[in-house]
């Protein structure tokens, strides 16, 4: 990990990735230098956290726009007045299912997956509901040279079918998360393929770019041919030593680099309400 950018107080929370940033009020306009410092911290630590924030949807959107164009979601409607803001809500009486409750990288079923995601904790349960992130630079770096060479020659197919298709878990989204504005009708975008090893466009570092949520097979291979190696990579990519874990409090903000991380929202707060607001910054095509 690199030293903190000048002007920011940065505290690492784990050895693999993750840092808290102090003394920044995201409700106020940021200077160009402040934006540059935050971007540097994001590139260095992969996921950064701001505590004790008090943000309106307009302020959340204004913060996100300092880092790029914002985008919506194919399967979840945003707020009526702020379509970029998704409300991720689980009610106390909703069952054993939550949004984002498995390891994944956001929307890799797109040709241009999100650059980054910003998540704001509005209402936090008294226990549980933590989020984990995994460093995909480390996932690549710890592979053997032979496997790095093999994977560097491969592409993988990413699809939203299992998560949001007619036969996928979209039915659970609609039936069990009634306070979320799920809009899927069973149709999903055409599958896309991305390099298995991605080069980060800003750092130039290589990272593993497959995930259990959306990667279905290697390009030009069948699912059966792909299964064994993909399952190994899914397990390898989220080894405990590659991860950090964040305990949410009301007003916390997490901002993660979607190009080189995976994340997992834990579902262990049954009987309590959890309400988050999410925006995403548009990205580029992986290369």
Q: Which residues are catalytic?
A: 104, 106, 263, 278
The closest of 236, 254, 202 to 17, measured between CA atoms, is 254
Q: Buried b / exposed e across 80-112, counting CB within 10 Å, b at 16+?
A: eebebbbbbbbeeebeeebbbeebbbbbbbbee
Residue 98 contacts residue 265 (beta carbons within 8 Å): yes
Q: Which of 248, 280, 150, 258 is nearest to 211 (CA)?
A: 258
Q: CA 189, CA 170: separation in Å to the nearest integer?
A: 14
CA distance 245 to 216: 27
Rounded to whole angstroms, how far apart are CA atoms 219 and 58? 41
Q: Please choose, from the candidates 163, 18, 184, the residue with its C-alpha nearest in 3D space to the C-alpha of residue 99.
A: 163
Pairing of strands 155-158, 19-22: unpaired
């Amino acid at each position: 990990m690199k030293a903190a950018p000048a002007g920011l107080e940065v505290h690492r929370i784990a050895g693999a990735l993750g840092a808290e940033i102090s003394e920044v009020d995201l409700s106020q306009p940021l200077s160009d230098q402040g934006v540059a410092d935050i971007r540097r911290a994001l590139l260095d630590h992969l996921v950064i956290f701001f505590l004790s924030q008090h943000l309106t949807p307009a302020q959340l959107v204004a913060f996100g726009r300092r880092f790029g164009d914002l985008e919506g979601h194919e399967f979840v409607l945003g707020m009526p007045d702020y379509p970029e803001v998704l409300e991720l809500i689980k009610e106390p009486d909703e069952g054993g299912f939550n949004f984002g409750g498995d390891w994944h990288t956001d929307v890799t079923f797109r040709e241009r997956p999100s650059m980054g995601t910003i998540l704001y904790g509005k209402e936090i349960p008294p226990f549980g509901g933590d989020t984990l992130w995994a460093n995909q630079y480390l996932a690549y770096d710890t592979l053997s040279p032979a496997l790095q060479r093999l994977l560097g020659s491969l592409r993988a197919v990413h699809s939203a079918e299992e998560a949001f298709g007619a036969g996928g878990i979209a039915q659970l989204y609609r039936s069990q998360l009634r306070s979320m504005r799920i809009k899927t009708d069973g149709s999903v975008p055409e599958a896309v393929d991305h390099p298995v090893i991605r080069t980060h466009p800003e750092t130039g570092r290589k990272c593993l770019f497959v995930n259990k949520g959306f990667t279905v097979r290697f390009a030009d291979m069948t699912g059966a041919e792909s299964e064994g190696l993909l399952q190994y990579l899914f397990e390898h990519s989220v080894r405990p030593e590659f991860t950090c874990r964040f305990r949410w409090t009301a007003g916390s903000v997490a901002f993660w680099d979607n190009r080189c991380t995976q994340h997992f929202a834990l579902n262990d707060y049954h009987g309590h309400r959890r309400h988050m607001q999410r925006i995403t910054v548009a990205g580029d095509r992986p290369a």
